[in-house]
Amino acid sequence: MRLFKGDIIHTKTPNQFEVFEDGYILEDNGIVVEVGFELDKKYPIVKIIDHTGRLLLPSFVDLHTHAVQYANLGLGLDEELLSWLEIYTFKEEAKFSDISYAKKVFSYLLDDIVKAGTTRVVFFGSIHEEATELLIEMSIAKGIGAYIGKVNMDRNAPDSLLEDSDNSVAITKRLLRVGNDKVKSIITPRFAPSCSEKLMRELGELEDKLEVQTHISENRDEIKWIEELFPDAKSYLDVYLKNGLISNRTILAHAIFSTKEELSVIKEKGAFIAHCPSANVNLTSGVMDAKFYLDQGINLGLGTDVGAGDSLSIRKNIVLAIQMSKINHIISNEKKILSFSEAFYLATKRGGSYFGKVGSFEKGYKLDMLVIERDKLADIKDFSLVEKLQRFIYSGNDEMILERYCEGVKLFFY
């Protein structure tokens, strides 16, 4: 058991922070036992880790990013989605047939994710079995929690990225048995334009199928293409529904243009949407009405979506999610703004719920936590805990993160 002492802040609910200034978190074996004041008196023999004056907050959850696009970070963002895939992304992903290249990229990537304060992440890999398995092993070694998907795609891409659909399903099936409690495989049909119906149907029929991730309704040309490729489908979502790919263990990236009808099915199924504001603006895709999705009760989390997103920082995507919702409000007055606590909640507890009890310091939650250095300006000016958090999120930097924990295990980077 350990007692962590510091200025504790988290969001049990979207619309308010709960704070414990000079409080304690009692942890046992990676799980929060109790949070409150003067726990040192209640548990006098438990070792105290003293972070007095520092913020203790839940670490970040990234529901959508592409491990194999990390070396393309910042490149080609003058393009829109479909040309960006052709010109930049597919070429880069083809390189992951080379396992030594994969190893170099993944080691930088995992260091930089931990550095940015993210301890849970859902990765797209590439079509390659060996590289995907390597990413699973390296993520386990790093100590983060992750879902990692070998991408499935059997059409509309260069030959170097096309698979035989039977082989694609067989490899996916084998990889579902690799991993441990914290790092697991996830079924990853890239998006419907890259997958034949046969491939999607067979993935949807896998008996040990549980977690699924894909992309949906990110770009207007993509949606038009879906109408051409699937003339009988009632909607984009319908393509995935018909093939058994939508459940409360599905993550849909983007969903910017999903209709009210589609959103109500997503809500009813309990599927997750990964909101990726950086990617959405970089590829000129669109502005999601995140506040509306949250108010509908959809399982909404944040994703960095590297390399369409230009940073691994969820902190930066919290700010962008708020700013994009404000742009929406400026353009059409009836659209509502995402508040600071709501955006923080998406990045921690709501996104974290994909991983179980993650993203909050309530009893029974996994101790996923960041320790934030004391703000220098606090010497000359008083800040409330919420203001300290605002300063860290909006205008802080990763160097202010002194320690990172995933399920009570301290994480390191080089």
Residues that bind Fe ion (CB under 5 A): 253, 305
Strands (E), 59-106: 60-66
Q: Of 280, 281, 216, 273, nearest to 243 (Cα)?
A: 216
Gap between the Cα atoms of 66 and 61, Å rounded: 14
* 3 vs 237, beta carbon nearer ligand GUN: 237
Residue 187 contact, options Fe ion, ligand GUN, none, Cβ 5-8 Å cut-off depending on partner type: none
Parallel/antiparallel/unpaired status of strands 401-406 and 409-410: antiparallel
Q: Which does 350 bind (CB under 5 to 8 A by kind): Fe ion, ligand GUN, none?
A: none
| Distance of alpha carbon 393 from alpha carbon 17, whole angstroms | 14
Could you give the count of Cα atoms lying within 13 Å of 255 in the half-sphere of its Cβ? 33
3, 75, 291 from 331: Cα distances, Å: 48, 29, 15
Query: Which does residue 115 bind out of ligand GUN, Fe ion, none, counting CB within 5 to 8 angstroms by kind?
Result: none
> Which residue type does 231 have?
P
Contact (Cβ atoms closer than 8 angstroms) between residue 59 and residue 370: yes
Question: Closer to ligand GUN at the Cβ: 285 or 325?
Answer: 285
Who's near 195: CB < 8 A, 6+ residues apart? Answer: 152, 153, 154, 155, 189
**Residue 120 contact partner, candidates ligand GUN, Fe ion, none, CB within 5 to 8 A by sort of partner:** none
Q: 25 touches which of ligand GUN, Fe ion, none (CB within 5 to 8 A by kind)?
A: none
C-alpha gyration radius of the chain:
21
Closest approach, Cβ 354 to Fe ion, in A, equals: 16
CA 238 vs CA 91, 207, 371: distances in Å = 30, 21, 43
**Stated length of the chain:** 414
- Our CB check for ligand GUN shows the closer of 39 and 308 to be 308
Q: Pick the closest to residue 242 from 197, 206, 211 (CA basis).
A: 197
307 vs 352, which CB is nearer to Fe ion?
Answer: 307
Nearest to 119 by CA among 71, 54, 182, 181: 182
- Residues 49, 63: Cα–Cα separation, whole Å: 30
Q: Which of 412, 364, 408 is closest to 33 using CA atoms?
A: 364
Question: Which of 57, 279 has the CB closer to ligand GUN?
Answer: 279
State in angstroms the smallest separation of the CB of 213 from ligand GUN. 11
Q: How near is the Cβ of 239 to ligand GUN at its closest, in Å?
A: 14
Structure tokens at 347: 């990045």
Spatial contact of 134 and 105, defined as CB atoms under 8 Å apart = no
Nearer CB in complex with ligand GUN: 142/190: 190
Instruction: Closer to ligand GUN by CB, 96 or 340: give it.
Output: 96
Q: How far is the CB of 79 from ligand GUN (least distance, A)?
A: 11
Per partner kind, with CB cut-offs from 5 to 8 A, the member of ligand GUN, Fe ion, none near residue 407 is none
User: How far apart are CB 194 and ligand GUN at their closest, in Å?
Assistant: 7
Minimum CB–partner distance for residue 283 and Fe ion (Å):
10
190 binds, among Fe ion, ligand GUN, none (CB under 5 to 8 A by kind): ligand GUN
Q: Could you give the angle at the alpha carbon of 232 between the alpha carbons of 230 and 235, nearest 5°?
A: 75
C-beta of 214: minimal distance to Fe ion in Å?
A: 9
Residues that bind ligand GUN (CB under 6 A): 66, 81, 85, 89, 190-191, 215, 218, 279, 305, 308
| Minimum distance from residue 170 beta carbon to Fe ion (Å) | 25
Nearer to Fe ion, 32 or 253 (CB): 253
Which is nearer to ligand GUN, 279 or 370 (by Cβ)?
Answer: 279
Report d(CA 237, CA 214) in Å as an integer.
11
Least gap, CB of 134 to ligand GUN (angstroms): 19
